[in-house]
Amino acid sequence: MTSHQSTQTMKPATAAKKLGVYLEATPAEFRDGVVSRAELNELQANPPQWLQDLRRNGPHPRPVVAAKLGVSIAGLARAGVTEPLTTEQIEALKQEGPEWLERERTTQAEVRKEAARIKKKNAEHQA
């Protein structure tokens, strides 16, 4: 019996998510096709200029915006930030330091601290 290895492909939205870029900002040939696992690996290993530019300047998807601001995706939503932001817009927000950003950063820090406490507690119980 021979095994037939089919090429694993993914939708452009999935590939964009794995690459950390906003799908609508990618080139049409990327958005309109399918991406194989090998193509994704190649994009990650040797990003073309368009991918380098998107990663550097944006617009960035919500998970990337949240990470760059040090808040959660839910925190962005609570603040009414629903659109992708460019690196320049993110830096401007950091400079402005709006009250919601400080509040969400504090909340995020507390969540991380609590998660670390629980992880430590669970590790002690298993030891």
pLDDT of residue 21: 93
pLDDT of residue 126: 80
Cβ-contact 21, 47 below 8 angstroms:
no
Instruction: Name 85's bridge partners.
Output: 60
pLDDT of residue 1: 46
Cβ-contact 86, 59 below 8 angstroms:
yes
pLDDT of residue 9: 86
* pLDDT values of the chain reduced to their tens digit, one per residue, 127 residues: 445 556 788 899 999 999 999 999 999 999 998 889 999 999 999 999 999 999 999 999 999 999 999 999 999 999 999 999 999 999 999 999 899 999 999 999 998 899 899 988 888 888 6
pLDDT of residue 6: 62
pLDDT of residue 7: 76
- CA 22-82-68 angle, to 5 degrees, is 60
